């Protein structure tokens, strides 16, 4: 089969080969481990409509993606309630409580998550969760997904001096795992998160299940896939295994 120049170019861009040998994988949580964005969107829409935000007109997904998705709570509060941050924090607490109820009732993993979990475990790679979510939310979602023992550590953006899109949370994860950025890659789903990973000088695999490919490509991920079942992802991971790039048998 003849491979076009464009296809060859895409293949080079998607390669994770520069991180050989692989030592660790870092995961965002919301939208990357689990399909939580619809739950966040619902909770924000209900809370904001209840308090008459935007004249009582419900927010749409475009507004959510632009102003909320991937951001930490302090940043969201300052965006939505610039003139009353204290009152905004109270509204956020109400929204978060609603979100946690929805998590217990409805949370679902991103398609193929447990397949990539097995790949990480089979290759004995270190693993951390790195999120702008609050610790209580992150730990609840990870627990509901059955991943509490999968992660060696959870890095919370609000517990860092700078949350994503600053690279600090990802750099702290490297420090906690005692691994090099030259041997680590990241799974992310938001523009904010991909920017953080790229700024931390690690290749990022973008998950485009909810956010548009055009939007995510602005942050220059190494590879963009629909979910963890995407053939492009497994071709890239198989390359690492075939070339002996992992340290599974070290």
CA distance 230 to 221: 15
Enter the pTM of the model: 0.87
Q: At what angle do helices 191-199 and 168-177 cross, to 10 degrees?
A: 60
- Let me know if 218 is exposed, middle or buried by CB neighbors in 10 A (0-12, 13-18, 19+): exposed
* Contact assessment for residue 233 and residue 213, using Cβ atoms and an 8 Å cutoff: no
Q: For residue 65, what are its two tokens?
A: 């993606």
**Catalytic residue positions?**
28, 30
CA distance 196 to 167: 4
**Each residue's pLDDT expressed in tens, for the chain with a length of 250 residues:** 343 444 443 444 446 878 878 999 999 999 999 999 999 999 999 999 999 998 999 999 999 988 998 888 999 999 999 999 999 999 999 999 999 999 999 999 999 999 999 999 999 999 999 999 999 999 999 999 999 999 999 999 999 999 999 999 999 999 999 999 999 999 999 999 999 999 999 999 999 988 889 999 999 999 999 999 999 999 999 888 655 555 444 4
Q: For residue 60, what are its two tokens?
A: 């749409």
The owner of tokens 């120049």 is 5
């Amino acid at each position: 089969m003849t491979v076009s120049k464009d296809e060859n170019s895409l293949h080079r861009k998607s390669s994770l080969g520069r991180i050989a040998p692989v030592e660790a994988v870092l995961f965002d949580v919301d939208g990357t481990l689990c399909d939580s964005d619809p739950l966040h969107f619902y909770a924000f829409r209900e809370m904001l409509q209840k308090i008459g935000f935007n004249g009582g007109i419900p927010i749409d997904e475009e507004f959510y993606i632009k102003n909320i998705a991937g951001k930490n709570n302090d940043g969201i509060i300052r965006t939505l309630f610039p003139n009353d941050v204290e009152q905004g924090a109270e509204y956020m607490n109400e929204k978060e409580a609603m979100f946690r109820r929805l998590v217990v009732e409805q949370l679902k993993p991103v398609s193929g998550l447990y397949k990539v979990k097995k790949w990480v475990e089979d290759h004995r790679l270190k693993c951390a969760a790195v999120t702008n979510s609050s610790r209580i939310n992150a730990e609840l979602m990870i627990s509901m997904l059955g991943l509490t023992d999968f992660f060696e550590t959870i890095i919370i953006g609000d517990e860092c001096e700078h949350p994503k899109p600053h690279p600090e949370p990802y750099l702290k994860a490297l420090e906690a795992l005692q691994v090099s950025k030259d041997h680590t890659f990241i799974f992310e789903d938001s523009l904010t998160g991909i920017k953080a990973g790229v700024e931390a000088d690690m290749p990022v695999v973008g998950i485009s299940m909810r956010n548009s490919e055009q939007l995510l490509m602005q942050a220059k991920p190494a590879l963009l896939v629909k979910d963890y079942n995407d053939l492009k992802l497994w071709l890239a991971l198989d390359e690492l295994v075939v070339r002996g790039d992992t340290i599974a048998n070290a």
